[in-house]
Amino acid sequence: MTMDVTFLGTGSAYPSPHRGASALVLRTEGECWLFDCGEGTQTQLMKSQLRAGRITKVFISHLHGDHLFGLPGLLCTVSLNSNPDPQQRLGRVDIYGPRGLRHFLRVTLGLTGSQLLFPYAGKRALSPNTDVHELEPTSDQSPEEGQLSPEVTADGPLHPQEQPGRTISLDVSSECYLLFEDKRFVVQAFRLFHRIPSFGFCVQEHDRPGRLKTELLKELGLKPGPLYGRLKAGEAVTLESGRLVLPAEVLEDATPGRKVCILGDCSSVLGEGPLRLCHRADILVHEATLANEHREKAVEHGHSTPEMAAAVAQACRARRLVLHHFSQRYKPCGAQKEGGKDDVSELKRQAEDALQDSGVEVVLAEDFLTLNVPIRCDQSLPVR
Amino acid sequence: MTMDVTFLGTGSAYPSPHRGASALVLRTEGECWLFDCGEGTQTQLMKSQLRAGRITKVFISHLHGDHLFGLPGLLCTVSLNSNPDPQQRLGRVDIYGPRGLRHFLRVTLGLTGSQLLFPYAGKRALSPNTDVHELEPTSDQSPEEGQLSPEVTADGPLHPQEQPGRTISLDVSSECYLLFEDKRFVVQAFRLFHRIPSFGFCVQEHDRPGRLKTELLKELGLKPGPLYGRLKAGEAVTLESGRLVLPAEVLEDATPGRKVCILGDCSSVLGEGPLRLCHRADILVHEATLANEHREKAVEHGHSTPEMAAAVAQACRARRLVLHHFSQRYKPCGAQKEGGKDDVSELKRQAEDALQDSGVEVVLAEDFLTLNVPIRCDQSLPVR
Ligand SMILES: [Zn+2]
Ligand SMILES: [Zn+2]
Ligand SMILES: [Zn+2]
Ligand SMILES: [Zn+2]
C-alpha cells in the first residue's frame, strides 16, 4: 500500500515562475488529498504525474490567498473534465478549512456562474457533491485584526445545490479537531498561530494487524474458516477442546500505521495536544519562510525560520522534517546563481544544525518533489 | 508614441501548461491596461517583459472564472511588491467590469485578510486606491439562468477602505457604455451575448493635430509665440494686417488616433452601435473557441468560430482580426504534433477564407505574442 507526498508549490506569498504557491498532494491507493491550493495549482497538477480528477478531499490550512486562490478554478476544472457518466467518476469532494471558506466558495463559484459544480436542479447527476466542513478558530490563533467578524461569514442563502456543510469545534481535552475517521485513517486538525487563524493537519493511518501464523493454527487443529477472521480481528477463540486461543499467540506483529503531519503557515503551535498528536510523525511538513537571521521579520509576519521549524520537529520527535513555503527570494537549487546570497540550501543547513544528534532527517521541498512514505519495519508494534 | 498589445493567455475554460487563461495587456507609454485576468495571469506577467506594477487599469469582460480568478491574487501581489514610498509608485488601480465584480473582490480580498490592498485605518498611505466601476448588463445579454439575481450582488457593508464604486448604465442611443475619457483616450464598452453577461471594450485614441507649417507661417509674418499654440489647438487667428489665418492653412494633416477593440466571450454582438464604434479598428481581438465544424457546440456554449469572428471583423471593416481564447484542444503551433487533428492554424485559415478580398488581416494570438499598433500614415485625416 503505497503512500506518497508530492509538492506542487513551495513558494510563499504568491506564485512565481520559479515556485508555485502552496499546494501538496498526499496520495494513497490512487486517491489524492490536496493540502492548500494557491493560484496556479491546477496547472501545476497538469504538469505533474497526478490527476486532478482523483482528488477526493481538500484541506485548506488558512484563508491567505497564496493557499486558497487556486481552489475555485480547480473545482471548476475538475467538474468540467469529469466523466459525464456518474458511474465512471468520483462522486464527491470533501473540503476542510477555517470558518469563512464556505462563504468564499459560495461567492466565487456563485458569481462566476460555475454551474457544473453546484448545478441547477435537474443537473445534479452531472456534478460532484461538494461539502465544506469548517473549523471554528479560537481567538488566540491570531492578532485581533486577523479575526473574521461573524457578519463576514454569516450564512447567506445557500446556492441551490450547495450542501449545507458542517462546523467542527475544538475538542478542548485533546486540543484537536476530529475531521473524520474511516477504515484506514483518522484525520485531525490543530491550531497554529499566524496573522490569521491557521491550522495543521495530522493524517494517521490505523495500525494493521499482523498476519495469522497458519502453521501454528494447523498444529492447534484450527482450519481456515470464520474463526480465522475473528482471531485476526483481535478476538479470543475457544477450541472444542476447551483451549482458549488468544490473538497474540497466533498473529505476527502488527504493522504500525504511518503518520503524515502538514502544518499551515505559523510562528508557533498552540498547546501541547498537537505535539502529542504529531508524535513520531513519519513526515512533518513545516514552513520555513525566511532564514534564521530574519527571525524577527518572520515572526512579525507570523512565519517561521528553519530553527523554529526544527524545534517543532524535535518536540514531536518526527522522523523527517520537510521544509517548504520559502520566500520567493530563495530560488530553487537549479535556478540559483552559484555562490549567490539567499541560497535555499542554507535553510536546510540551519535546520540540520538545530537538529544535531536528534536523528531527525531534514528535506528541502521543491516543486514536483515526491516523497515516498514507506511502511515502517524497524519498529513493529506488540500485538494488542 | 508606441502602443502594443501582449497576449498573456490565449486558452479557454482553464489555464493549462500550453495556454494561459484569458488575459492581455494594452501598453502605451509605460502604462499597462489589463484586459481580463484568468488564473495564473500574475505568473504569466512575470514571464513576460511587462511589469505588474505598471497596471493602472483593469477591464474584466465577464465574470467567468477563466477571465477573473487571477484578479484577487494579482492585486495582492501588486500591492505586496509596491514601493512603500507613496511618491514612488502608481497610486491607483481602476477596475471596470460587470455587475457583481465589486462583490467578488470584496469577498475574496476581505476573507483572505488582504489588508495591504484595502488596508486598515492608518495604513492607507501604503496602499493603492482601488475603485471598481460596474457595468449594468441588460437582460438580453444571456439566457435567463446566466443572470445574477440582485440579492447576489447586493451591497453589503463596504470593506473599511473600499472605495464606494460607481455603476455605469447603457447609453441607449449609442448602445454603448462610456467608461472614461481623458486627454489621450476615450474608452467605451458594449454588450455581447454569452452564457452570462459579457462585454467588449473599445479604446479610441484621440486624433492628433498635424504639425505647424512653420515656413508658411514665417512667410505670413507670424513669429513663434502664443498664436502658434492657438492655431495648433484649432483656433483661427487674425493678423495685424486683418488677414484671417485658418488652422487648415497652416497645419499638416492630423494623425488619426488608433483604435483597439477587445471583445469578451460571445456568440454575437448586441446591436449596431458597437459595430459603428469599432469601425476601422486597427486591431479587433475576437474569440474563436472552436473551429467552424463545431459551430453548433460553440453557439450552445455562447462562443464563436473563426467564421463568426470574421463576420464581426468584416461588419466593422477592421484592419486586423486577432483570434484568441482557443479551446485547450488546440495546442500552440510549437507544441502541435505534425499532421495531428485540432491544428490551431486551421482556425486562421477558416477566418481567412471567410475574409477573402476584404483586406482584413488575420492573426492567431499565442501566449506572449506582442503586436505593435503603428500610427497610421496611410490614411491621414483632413484638418478640422
Ligand atoms: Zn503563505
Ligand atoms: Zn499565511
Ligand atoms: Zn472564457
Ligand atoms: Zn465565458
Distance from CA of A102 to the nearest CA of B (A): 10
Residue A336 is given by DSSP the state S
Q: What is the pLDDT of residues B170-212, one digit of tens each?
A: 999 999 999 999 999 999 999 999 999 999 999 999 998 888 8
Q: What is the pLDDT of residues B138-148, one digit of tens each?
A: 999 999 888 88
Best to test chain A binding among B67, B68, B111, B134 (most A CBs inside 10 Å): B111
> Could you state, in order of their start, the residue ranges of all structural domains in chain A?
3-207+256-372, 214-249
Residue in the block written with cell 508530492: A6
pLDDT in tens, chain A (384 residues): 899 999 999 999 999 999 999 999 999 987 999 999 999 999 999 999 899 989 989 999 999 999 999 999 999 998 888 766 656 655 678 899 999 998 899 889 888 887 654 333 333 333 446 788 889 999 999 998 888 877 667 666 666 556 667 899 999 999 999 999 999 999 999 999 999 999 999 999 999 888 889 899 888 888 888 888 888 888 999 988 888 999 988 999 888 999 999 999 999 999 999 999 999 999 999 999 999 999 999 999 999 999 999 999 999 999 999 999 999 999 998 777 666 788 999 999 999 999 998 999 999 999 999 999 999 876 555 544
- Specify the pLDDT at position A35: 98
Stretch B258-279: mean pLDDT, rounded?
A: 98
Cβ neighbors of B251 (< 8 A, separation 6 or more) are: B209, B210, B211, B212, B213, B231, B232, B383
Across the interface, do B157 and A151 touch by the CB < 8 Å criterion? yes
Q: How confident is the model at residue B78 (pLDDT cuts 50, 70, 90)?
A: confident
Stretch B110-114: mean pLDDT, rounded?
A: 85
Q: pTM for the whole thing?
A: 0.91
Q: What is the ipTM of this complex?
A: 0.89
Are A28 and A289 a contacting pair, CB within 8 Å?
no
Across the interface, do B113 and A64 touch by the CB < 8 Å criterion? yes
Q: What is the pLDDT of residues A247-260, one digit of tens each?
A: 988 999 888 999 99
Task: State the virtual CA torsion across B334, B338, B344, B349 in degrees, nearest 10.
Answer: 120
- What superfamily would CATH give domain A3-207+256-372? Ribonuclease Z/Hydroxyacylglutathione hydrolase-like (3.60.15.10)
Question: What distance in angstroms lies between residue A301's CA and the mean position of ligand 1's atoms?
Answer: 10
Q: Which helix (H) or strand (E) holds B177?
A: strand B177-181
Which one is predicted more confidently, B304 or A238? Answer: B304
Separation CA B187–CA B262 (nearest Å): 11
Stretch B290-310: mean pLDDT, rounded?
A: 98
Which of B21, B107, B148 has its CB closest to that of A103?
B107
Task: State the virtual CA torsion across A64, A70, A76, A77 in degrees, nearest 10.
Answer: -160
- Please name which ligand lies nearest the alpha carbon of A64: 2
Q: How far is CA A274 from the centre of its chain?
A: 14
